[in-house]
Structure 1
Amino acid sequence: MSINLLHRHVLEDHISGFETDPNPNHLSVVRRPVIFSVLAHAGREVAVAEALKAASDLAPRFCGPSEWLAVSQTVGAETIAGLLSNIAGASFVDQSDGKVLMAVSGPSVRKILAKCLAVDLHPDVFGEGHSANMLCCHVAANVARTGSDTFEIIVPRSFAGSVFDELMEMGREHALTRGFSD
């Protein structure tokens, strides 16, 4: 007997049936990102940070001293696990099923996020490639600036609906649209 397990995204009911063509301000949800938590062993912090930055197909997101999220939208968990296992002094665990990745982009992105974050997102302060753990819509999140007007937000799966709904509400006056990324 075979069991057919169908992957259903936690935000499926928030998006399916409501898709429209993206406006300049858009919230996209990544269906199957690969997200690992990575911790550096004592004394190996610099080496682990450098190895994460040098890795291809992987975007490191700073969480705190000796701690990162390793994010990929291009390769599978097995590939990332293999890559991370080659970093001396690093411990890691796959968090992909427990996290949701959303990207908010557009000319009004800072105005939208200013309603949800208590952090200065000015380009001189929070530059491209920067990331940090913070509260987003009253939920612990990791926020990264991935482009000129693009931010990625990683939240726990159990709070994704709440964060999604609040982001959409904060973006209403800026005609924020939503959808799954391709």
Structure 2
Amino acid sequence: MPVTYAARHVLEDHISGFEAAPNPHHVSILRSTVVISALAHAGHEADIEEALTNLEDTHLRFCAPGEWLVISDSVSAETIERYLRDLGPRLSFVDQSDGRVVLAIRGPRVRSILAKCTALDLHPDVFAIGQSTNCQICHVAANLARTGQDTFEIIVMRSFAGFLFDEISEMGREFALTAGFA
């Protein structure tokens, strides 16, 4: 008899039995976000950034000069890759969807929670809505983006997702941080 494998999210065991109705401070684990790493070849950074910015129903996360993460909850990886291939040899890209986990954290004191685990200045005047950067969060390399007034997204490598999730849960305990799958 053949063995059947069920797809499980890497954080399934971390949250199973603890998933709660959202409080004002909440971490949402996004299940099916497409994450594609894109790297512009030298001399093409500006035109590639413009082309990526114009891609509908996606969000662009800055990683480094000429390097971005293209993410989407509604456009398939195949569709994004087709678009990127059409940009020609000015760009290299790879689908990272299976290797990355996306967490959305929100709440009126979200900056206080994140301040416990990152050295970034997250004041609204410094870290604007739409801004993103690679950084250390709880000693783990991640990409942090401010997506709303009191909302941030964290993109982390799959192998570090459990540790990061547990640490953020601990940092948010004083604010009654809840968590669940989006």
Matched residue, 2:141:
140
Sort the Cα spacing of 1:70 and 1:3 in 2 relative to 1 into closer, same or farther, 3 A.
farther
Q: CA deviation at 1:32?
A: 1.6
- The separation in 2 between residues aligned to 1:12 and 1:106, in whole angstroms, is 23
Give distance in 2, aligned partners of 1:69 and 1:5: 29
Aligned residue for 2:98, secondary structure, equals helix
| Aligned partner of residue 47 in structure 1, secondary structure | helix
Deviation at 1:4, TM superposition (A): 4.0
Q: How many Å apart are 1:110 and its aligned residue?
A: 0.3
Post-superposition shift, 1:5?
Answer: 3.6
Deviations 1:22-57 (A, max 9, x none): 001000101121101100011100001111111112
Give the secondary-structure state (helix, strand or coil) at the position aligned to 2:83.
helix
Corresponding pairs, count:
181
Equivalent position SS for 1:132: strand
**Partner-residue secondary structure (3-state), 1:166:** helix
- Superposed CA deviations along residues 74-94 of structure 1, whole A, max 9, x for unmatched, are 122111111222224111000
Within 1, Cα distance between the matches of 2:171 and 2:56?
A: 35
Identity value in percent: 61
Partner of 1:91: 92
TM-score if structure 1 supplies the norm length?
0.96
Q: In structure 2, what is the Cα distance between the partners aligned to 1:20 and 1:9?
A: 17
2:31 is the counterpart of 1:31: yes
| Inter-partner Cα distance in structure 2 for 1:90 and 1:79 | 16
Q: Which residue of 1 aligns with 2:65?
A: 65
Other structure's SS at 1:140 match: strand
Rounded Cα–Cα distance in structure 2 between residues aligned with 1:104 and 1:51: 29
| TM-score, with structure 2 as normaliser | 0.96
Q: Distance in 1 between matches of 2:51 and 2:2?
A: 41
Runs of 4+ aligned residues of structure 1 deviating over 6 Å after TM superposition are none
Give the corresponding residue for 1:81: 81
Q: Which amino acid aligns with 1:106?
A: G
**In 2, Cα distance between equivalents of 1:87 and 1:150:** 32
Consecutive unaligned residues of structure 2, counting only runs of 5 or more, are none
